[in-house]
Amino acid sequence: MRTVPLAGLPDVSVVCLGTMTWGSQNTEDEAHEQLDAFVAAGGNLIDTAELYPVPPDPKYTGETELIIGRWLAKHPDLRSRVIIATKVAGPMPRNFVSAAREKALTGTLDPAAPLPRLVPEQIERGLAASLARMQTDYVDLLQLHWPDRYTPLWGNNVYMKELEGKHEQQPRSSEERVPFDDVVRCLGALIEKGTIKAWGLSNETSYGVCEWVHAARRCGVPPPVTIQNDFSLLDRRFESELAETCSSVNHNVGLLAYGPLAGGTLSGKGYSEPGSRHVLFPNFQARYHCPASRDAAEKYAQLAHSKGLSPTTLALAWAYSRHFMTSVIIGATKMKHLLENIEAASIVLDKDTLHAIDAIHRAARNPNLRS
């Protein structure tokens, strides 16, 4: 499997194994089978989060990291060969994630745990819990799961003046905004301590990327090396000004693309197949299977079939082909789908196919967006 360089870390595989279904839709045995197959195929980048599995549910919070930890315990020789990326949660309206940290560290849920915020003490506590669950003394990449400030998130695309100083998930006054420098100093201390090797962003904007990089320079801390944002045939926003911001000639922040199949919608069957995410959880990531997204996905599926490809292969091969791509996060509940997702990294789309993709996009730009 092809690898690409990433600042501050070993070269990473262009395919990143996503884990967000493990512990709810997937059993531990199934997850370990996926990990074994992924490593056997040459993959080394594994993405998780303290929040996983999703949709968020207090019953399962932290299970995904526990599953990874038990796999690492079975294969201690693999720890130095895999790159583990996890995420600390941003603001939420309930405290079950922070309560679960205490269960990981003390064995007991803390019903009085604070609401999640990206403040230094919670970042440190969240990381400590992730390390305990995964039975490791470091993670390679710690990501800030979403911003601790108001910005349009998860398909919202319009910045609203009246929401400044608040947050989609946790309204509060602007005086409570966490300074960038405070967070960066915390992350720098974790790098010096050796409990993380590098740090990254997620669900960020160009403004956020620039502020984090400038804060890192002010504080003498290594800058963020990755940004994990939504990116697919149904949401190509990254390829405009964010691609410029993150380019190697500017801030050199590599894209880890999530949602490349829009939760299965771009597979041609993922919003109707029994047991699929959108059937089981129709209100979770509903933007991925709204009517406009389905209509566009059908056009991409027709194009794929005309080229002798599956819709999944077309969508993923296109994502792998992007010049700004570091790694594409794939996820599957079935092994046959996982293997298909991995195989798509070896497919090269011809110019006619790429032009046809762009023509569909021009007629239906970013249908995932809700604003």
- Which pair of structure tokens corresponds to residue 105? 């560290």
Strand partners, 228: 202, 256
199 phi, psi to nearest 5 deg: -135, 160
Q: How far is Cα of residue 97 from the mean position of the Cα atoms in its chain?
A: 17
Strand partners, 47: 18, 85
Residue 111: asked if its preceding bond is cis (omega within 30°), the reply is: no
Q: Is residue 138 within 8 Å of residue 195, measured between CB atoms?
A: yes
167 phi, psi to nearest 5 deg: -150, 145
Contacting residues for 302 by C-beta, under 8 A, at least 6 apart: none
In the chain the first and final C-alpha atoms are separated, in Å, by: 38
- Among 301, 315, 297, which residue's Cα sits nearest to residue 368? 297
Q: Which are the catalytic amino acids?
A: 52
